[in-house]
Amino acid sequence: MSTDLIIAVIITVVGASTPILIAALGELVVERAGVLNLGVEGMMLVGAITAFVIVFVTGNHYLAILMAAAAGVATSLIFGFLTLSLSANQTATGLALTIFGTGLSALAGQGYSAKPVTLLGPLFPGLAADPFWRVLFGYSALVYFALFMVVAIWYFLKRTRAGLILRAVGENDLSAHSIGYSVIGVRYMAVMFGGAMAGIAGACFPLLLTPQWAERMTAGRGWIAVALVVFASWRPFRLLAGAYLFGLVMTMELYAKAGGGPLSAIPSELWAALPYLATVVVLVLISIRRDASTNAPACLGKPFLPSN
């Protein structure tokens, strides 16, 4: 394989991984606070259509990203209100949120299909033109944002007092409450952060991958993000590795489809199914290895009922 091809593959992998990584980072923070939000896919779709419409109307990509984050937060607040303020079941509410987001984005996107927009360009156009250095500096701001957030979230969780409080709330909500921390408040912040990240992850699709709107264009990547959090045992750097691994598998699919080379020996449908199969396998492996799952936040998915 020539250097050019390797660089091209790396660039495709990084692009494909970025939305998964951003969404999973948000979900990681949400789950560390003890909340399981299965609505990532729905929030991503709301973010995707918002970003598309804004960029279609204004042509401003950064405004589109910002508004996608805001739309993600707004969607997550529905989930937050139901599960945190009204103590509704998180699993059911999360599933409903995905269905809601899918429908809402399809409705809002009517009349926008097959209309082209421009992709978000690289952050450093000069270096992006360099045939070699583009492998490091040829990406759009969203890619660097994702990498920055890996480090930022790791530092936040591990080293800051606010991160410690967030982990404490996810670990033992009743104790955190009795010490005097606002469990519901912390969880609202986490859910909103997760919503913002999912919205931005959704914006990656029209701004980074395919410059148009298509219904359900996130194609289940939100679910992969949720599985990835478990895969990474709730640790940011493992999440990074996992996201790039999934991105690699997804890129294989593209090359297999394009034909040629040893990859096309396997039908592209199987390549397309691989990330999802890998998700299932990973979840099974983790369930078998009990020690790994003990890293799960102890209060994950349990509603906070302080009266008991």
Partner 1 sequence: MPYRLELTGITKRFPGVLANDNVTFAVKPGEIHALLGENGAGKSTLVKMIYGIMQPDAGEIRWDGSPVTVANPKAARKLGIGMVFQHFSLFEALTVLENIALGMDSKIPSRQLEARIRAVMTQYGLLLDPHRTVATLSVGERQRIEIVRALLLEPKLLIMDEPTSVLTPQEVEQLFEVLRKLAAEGCSILYISHKLHEIKALCDTATILRGGKLVDTCDPKQETSRSMAEKMIGAGLKDIVRGEGRSLGQPKLVVSRLSTAKTGHFDVPVDNVSFTVRAGEIFGIAGVAGNGQNALLDALSGEVRSGDKDAITLDGFPLGLLDTTGRRKRGLCAVPEERNGHAAVGDFTLSDNSVLTARDRLGMVMLGLINSGAAKTYTGRVIADFAVKALGPASTAGSLSGGNLQKYIMGREILQKPSVLVVSQPTWGVDAGAAAAIHQALVDLAAAGSAIVVISQDLDELRALCDTLAVINMGHLSPARPTGEMSVEEIGLLMGGVHGQAEARDAVPA
Positions touching partner 1 (CB under 8 A) are: 161, 164-165, 167-168, 171-172, 174-176, 178-181, 290-291, 294-295, 297-298
* 224 vs 232: CA distance, rounded Å: 12
Of residues 147 and 184, the one with the C-beta less far from partner 1: 184
Query: Taking the chain, what is the end-to-end CA distance rounded to the nearest angstrom?
Result: 63
* 180 vs 171: CA distance, rounded Å: 15
Burial of 231 (0-12, 13-18, 19+ CB in 10 A): buried
Of residues 118 and 295, the one with the C-beta less far from partner 1: 295
Long-range contacts of 236-239 (CB under 8 A, 24+ apart): 236/25, 236/28, 236/150, 236/151, 236/153, 236/154, 236/157, 237/150, 237/154, 239/21, 239/24, 239/25, 239/28, 239/150
Q: How far is the CB of 236 from partner 1 (least distance, A)?
A: 17
Q: How far is the CB of 166 from partner 1 (least distance, A)?
A: 11
Q: Is 213 helix (H, G, I), strand (E, B) or coil?
A: strand
Q: How far is the CB of 78 from partner 1 (least distance, A)?
A: 29
Of residues 275 and 297, the one with the C-beta less far from partner 1: 297
Of residues 31 and 41, the one with the C-beta less far from partner 1: 31
Q: How far is the CB of 164 from partner 1 (least distance, A)?
A: 6
Of residues 176 and 240, the one with the C-beta less far from partner 1: 176
Q: How far is the CB of 171 from partner 1 (least distance, A)?
A: 4
Q: How far is CA 108 from CA 9, 111, 208, in A?
A: 34, 8, 20
What the block records as the tokens of 136 is 């490091």
Q: How far is the CB of 137 from partner 1 (least distance, A)?
A: 37
Of residues 179 and 277, the one with the C-beta less far from partner 1: 179
Closest CA to 198 of 71, 94, 32, 96: 71
